[in-house]
Amino acid sequence: MQQNTAAAAQPQDQKKLRDTINLVDALAQEGFSQIRAIASVALRSLETPNSYQFTQDISDVLIAIKKIASDAEDCINQTAEEVGCDYVDAHRQRRIDAEMNNFRQRVA
């Protein structure tokens, strides 16, 4: 009986994994194509003789690139977390933990 349950669950797990990978791919393509398009426009604008007059526009473009990259990263990470496949950078996590411990010691 238990073997039948495990065998039935396997195709469902495979479908969930396939759907998740498909979603991650879609999120990555959307986010990175937006970044590429915005960066291309910003680079082309720097090739104009009067680009120095539009520093605020270029600043806004860079802020948009940063936001799109952050949103794409968050969506991809959340999707991976939902199926238990999120990447954790151990070195970064240790730095965050050290920072939090330092903060707690100062506040305590």
DSSP state letters, 4-41 = HHHHHHHHHHHHHHHHHHHHHHHHHHHHHHHHHHHHHH
DSSP character for 48? Answer: S
Please tell me the pTM assigned to this model. Answer: 0.64
CA angle 31, 37, 40 (to 5 degrees): 135
Q: Which comes out higher in pLDDT, residue 19 or 3? A: 19
Q: Which residues, 6+ apart, have CB-to-CB distance to 42 below 8 Å?
A: 58, 61, 62, 65
Domain count, the chain: 1
| pLDDT reported for residue 4 | 57
pLDDT confidence band for 100 (50 / 70 / 90): very high
pLDDT confidence band for 5 (50 / 70 / 90): low
Structural domain range at position 45: 2-107
Percent of the chain having pLDDT more than 70? 92
pLDDT confidence band for 15 (50 / 70 / 90): confident
d(CA 39, CA 48): 15
Q: For the segment 79-92, what is each residue's pLDDT rounded down to a tens digit?
A: 888 888 888 888 98
Q: Which residues, 6+ apart, have CB-to-CB distance to 41 below 8 Å?
A: 61
Cα dihedral 21, 26, 28, 29, rounded to 10, equals 140
